[in-house]
Amino acid sequence: MRMLPRLGTVVEAFRVRQKASMTHASSPLLHADRLSVARGDALLIEELSFALQPGEALHVLGENGAGKSTLLLALAGLIPLASGTVAVDRDALAFLGHDNGLLPDLSVAENMALYAGSGVVADPQTCEALGISKLSAKPARTLSFGQARRVALALTCLPEKALWLLDEPFAGLDTQTAQTLERVLAQHTARRGAVVYTSHERGLAQARNLTLAPRGDEDV
């Protein structure tokens, strides 16, 4: 069996806090066990294991190309694993990638109605916090990236979904809106939901850090 070349994965920062969190009586909302993901013939993520309990947030860090987006796609079940397992209730999962998922020729209100028709109904409080009503009449193609991100976040950050997987959720947001989003995420964890997110820009104070970094042939 041909072995894939190792790029290495650095897992940083949370053994002690994870051990403490595992004393909770509740079952984890997400459990990755020796998860490996390949890009082409090379392992981008290698034998990564962690669990996420209700009420926790995990901030995935790393340089460009380290595998942050790949990890979230793998956790969401959108790309295959090279090996290992991910235990998660996919019906309780909400995922936001780099694409905001809006049809450009429809208004914001029409996009949201289209999502509602498929069972994705944005939370009114989240919409109010993110200022969606001010955008409702605008065609999606006229939105700035930050405005489109706000709409996408309103359609993703659903209270009934226990686990939110968010890839660069703060991208394009002004400082005030980013602070609002931090409060939305904190409220979700306070309700015993959980969040996994990537961000080059901001982080939640209560989040554990998981750092991924390609490092040649050696794990550090």
pLDDT beyond 90 at 201: no
Q: pLDDT tens digits for 10-62?
A: 343 333 344 333 334 479 999 999 999 998 888 899 999 999 999 999 999 99
Confidence of residue 215 (pLDDT cuts 50, 70, 90): very low
Please determine, for residue 209, whether its predicted confidence score (pLDDT) is greater than 90.
yes
- Determine the Cα–Cα distance for residues 143 and 83; give it in Å rounded to an integer: 40
pLDDT higher than 80, residue 3: no
Run of H or E residues at 15 = helix 15-21
Look at residue 200 in the predicted model and tell me its pLDDT: 83
Judged against a pLDDT cut of 70, whether residue 171 lies above it is answered with yes
Give dist(CA 53, CA 30) in Å, integer: 7
List of residues 6+ apart from 209 with CB closer than 8 A: 12, 13, 14, 58, 59, 61, 203
- Write the burial class of residue 65 (CB in 10 Å: 0-12 exposed, 13-18 middle, 19+ buried): middle
Alpha-carbon Rg of the chain, whole angstroms?
Answer: 18
User: Residues 165, 94: contact at Cβ < 8 Å?
Assistant: yes
d(CA 151, CA 134): 11
Q: What is the mean pLDDT of the chain?
A: 87
Higher per-residue pLDDT: 24 or 170: 170
Q: Which pair of tokens denotes residue 6?
A: 């190792």
172: left (phi over 0), alpha (psi -120 to 50) or beta: left
User: Given a cut of 50, is residue 2 above it in pLDDT?
Assistant: no
What is the full DSSP assignment across 67-135?
Answer: SHHHHHHHHTTSS--SEEEEEE-GGGEEEE-SS----TTSBHHHHHHHHHHTT----HHHHHHTTGGGG
Is the pLDDT assigned to residue 112 strictly greater than 90? yes
Q: Which of 11-25, 75-89, 150-164 has the least mean pLDDT?
A: 11-25
pLDDT at res. 214 = 65
- Which pLDDT score, from 0 to 100, does residue 10 have? 38
150 Rama sector, left if φ>0, alpha if ψ -120 to 50, beta otherwise? alpha
**Do residues 35 and 45 touch, judged by C-beta distance below 8 A?**
yes
Asked: is 15-101+159-211 a CATH 3.40.50.920 domain? The reply is no
Which pLDDT band holds residue 4 (cuts at 50, 70, 90)?
A: very low
Partner residues linked to 50 by β-bridges? 32
Tokens 């459990």 correspond to 31
Q: In whole angstroms, what is the distance from residue 104 CA to residue 102 CA?
A: 6
CA–CA dist 33, 50 (Å, integer): 7
| pLDDT of amino acid 180 | 97
- Compare 40 and 1 and report the one with higher pLDDT: 40
What per-residue confidence (pLDDT) applies to 38? 92
What percentage of the chain carries pLDDT values higher than 90?
77
